[in-house]
Amino acid sequence: MARAIDTAVDGREHGPILRNTYGVRVDRHAATRRLKILAGRAGIRIARMHPHMLRHTFVTTMLDAGVRLRDVQIAARHTDPRTTMRYDRARKKLDRHPYWILAAFMASGT
């Protein structure tokens, strides 16, 4: 992954990472077309493939890995933590509930 980003950046320090053949930022339509082509080459068949799926995977994977909500919010560039919380699939699990965490902390005697 890092190698692909390094290739796309090509030593530049400013400007968009993904550019078209004219060196201009790739718009959302071009990004969708490119993603569908790459997914097809990889044998991935999803009916409604779109770039936001990558963003969703990025955020949900960080949350599933236990990265703090505030850190995920910053990485995703969400201004409101409630936006980030929408991605948290595990937020309804009992062991992630604040009351359960507090009870476990108090029961540990620390």
* pTM attached to this predicted model: 0.61
Residues 69 and 63: beta-carbon distance below 8 Å: yes
For the stretch 62-85, pLDDT in tens is 988 889 999 999 999 999 998 998
Q: State which residues form the domain around 39.
A: 2-107
Q: What is the reported pLDDT for 75?
A: 94
Q: Which residue has the tokens 């995977």?
A: 57
Q: What is the DSSP letter of 80?
A: S
Number of structural domains (the chain) is 1
